[in-house]
């Protein structure tokens, strides 16, 4: 790539415009730029794999949470979405983290499950604890056979990857021609606005704590799916209240700056330790099914600009 201000999603010659300064956990400060053609925003230059690996090694909050809840969600997903399409199949979860979702799918259906994650320590622990076929690395490097999977799930991952189109093309390659691609991604317009507002207010780079480096508009997502060889079967929008707050259509929440300010690391304490004290309790499958349906009920069909998050069911073209 010659010009770091060039949009990597659409082919416009017009350089992306400066929106804010932002950073990950390292000391490098990036420009957050917005493409005037497709409205996607992205870190400029795109952070190196080293910078991203450093960020993920510092923040383990991605890998914590309620394991029973994640398993329950996996079982419910298998019963409500996978089994009605195919009794038996192969599912890949890219960015599978704790692997609990996959374990849930396995318990709730006759599907075979596979996972990948970029954190090798996490992958090793999932293999040992859950005995699942989980592999470490970027999806482009793991090398599954073409058409191997009947379903692939990518939950809140696309906004983290340095080359989204390459990533999606690889997803298309490993999905069977009749397979299904389940993708969820933040509404980039709402997601980027908090970083822009923080920078505007404090003249200090916003901290992209979750590690988001791309902020996709609806147009840029449509373009990416098309270029990667997918068509949209279903689209949903959710987290409207959060979206309205991010876009300042409602007053910002009291804690809106918390995620944009780097955590203060006290001596002998790792950041975000409160997450690790989460109490866990296993509940019935019916309870998790009910929770799953309740979450789905709050998703509105279609893509709406005021939502914080989108989810898509995509099919190969």
Contacting residues toward Zn ion, per CB under 5 A: 7, 9-10, 35, 37-38
Minimum separation from the CB atom of position 41 to Zn ion (A): 10
Asked if 83 contacts 180 with a C-beta cutoff of 8 angstroms, the reply is no
Beta strands at 41-44 and 90-94: parallel, antiparallel or unpaired: unpaired
- In sequence order, what are the residues at sequence separation of 6 or more whose Cβ sits closer than 8 angstroms to the Cβ of residue 308? 186, 187, 190, 191, 238, 239, 240, 242, 243, 246
What is the closest distance, in whole angstroms, from the C-beta atom of residue 294 to Zn ion in the complex? Answer: 36
Cβ 33 to Zn ion shortest distance, Å: 10
Q: Which is nearer to Zn ion, 44 or 75 (CB)?
A: 44
Secondary structure class of 22 (helix, strand, coil): strand
| Residue whose CB is less far from Zn ion, 9 or 213 | 9
Q: Terminal CA-to-CA distance of the chain, rounded, Å?
A: 28
**Residue 7 or 96: which CB sits closer to Zn ion?**
7
Who's near 194: CB < 8 A, 6+ residues apart? 206, 246, 256, 259, 260
CB of 6 to Zn ion, least distance (A): 9
Tokens for 259?
A: 């995620």
34 or 98: CB nearest Zn ion: 34
Instruction: Say how far apart CA 213 and CA 198 lie, in whole Å.
Output: 16
Nearer to Zn ion, 10 or 91 (CB): 10
Q: Are 225 and 300 in contact (CB under 8 A)?
A: no
Report the SS3 class of residue 110: coil
Using the minimum distance from each CB to Zn ion, give the nearer residue, 17 or 29.
Answer: 17
Beta strands in 196-308 (DSSP E): 206-207, 214-215, 230-238, 300-301
Q: How far is the CB of 13 from Zn ion (least distance, A)?
A: 10
Kindly tell me which of 215 and 288 has the beta carbon lying closer to Zn ion: 215
Give me the least distance between CB of 34 and Zn ion, in Å please: 9
Largest CA distance in the chain: 55
Shortest reach from residue 7's CB to Zn ion, in Å? 3
Question: Which CB, 132 or 192, lies closer to Zn ion?
Answer: 192
Which of 103, 104, 113 is closest to 73 using CA atoms?
A: 104
Between CA 302 and CA 283 the distance in angstroms is 32
| Cβ 223 to Zn ion shortest distance, Å | 8
Residue 119: count other Cβ atoms within 10 Å of its Cβ.
18
Contact 186, 215 (CB under 8 A): yes
């Amino acid at each position: 790539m010659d010009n770091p201000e060039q949009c990597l999603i659409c082919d416009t010659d017009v350089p992306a415009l400066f929106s804010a300064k932002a950073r990950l956990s390292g000391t490098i400060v990036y420009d957050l730029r917005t493409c005037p053609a497709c409205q996607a925003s992205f870190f400029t230059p795109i952070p190196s794999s080293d910078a991203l690996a450093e960020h993920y090694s510092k923040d383990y909050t991605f890998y914590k949470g309620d394991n029973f809840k994640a398993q329950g969600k996996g079982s419910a997903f298998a019963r409500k979405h996978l089994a009605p399409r195919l009794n038996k199949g192969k599912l890949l979860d890219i960015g599978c983290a704790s692997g609990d979702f996959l374990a849930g799918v396995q318990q709730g259906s006759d599907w075979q499950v596979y996972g990948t994650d970029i954190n090798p320590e996490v992958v090793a622990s999932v293999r040992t604890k859950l005995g699942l076929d989980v592999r470490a690395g970027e999806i482009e490097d793991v090398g599954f056979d073409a058409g191997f999977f009947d379903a692939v799930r990518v939950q809140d991952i696309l906004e983290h990857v340095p080359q989204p189109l390459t990533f999606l093309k690889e997803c298309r390659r490993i999905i069977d021609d009749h397979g299904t691609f389940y993708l969820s991604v933040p509404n980039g317009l709402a997601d980027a606005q908090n970083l822009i507002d923080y920078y505007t207010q404090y003249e200090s780079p916003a901290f992209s704590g979750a590690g988001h480096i791309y902020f996709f508009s609806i147009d840029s997502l449509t373009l990416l799916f098309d270029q990667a060889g997918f068509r949209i079967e279903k689209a949903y929008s959710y987290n409207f209240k959060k979206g309205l707050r991010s876009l300042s259509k409602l007053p910002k929440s009291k804690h809106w700056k918390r995620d944009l300010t780097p955590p203060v690391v006290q001596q002998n304490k790792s950041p975000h330790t409160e997450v690790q004290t989460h109490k866990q309790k296993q509940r019935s499958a019916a309870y998790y099914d009910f929770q799953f349906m309740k979450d789905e009920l709050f998703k509105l069909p279609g893509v709406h600009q005021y939502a914080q998050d989108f989810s898509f069911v995509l099919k190969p073209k």
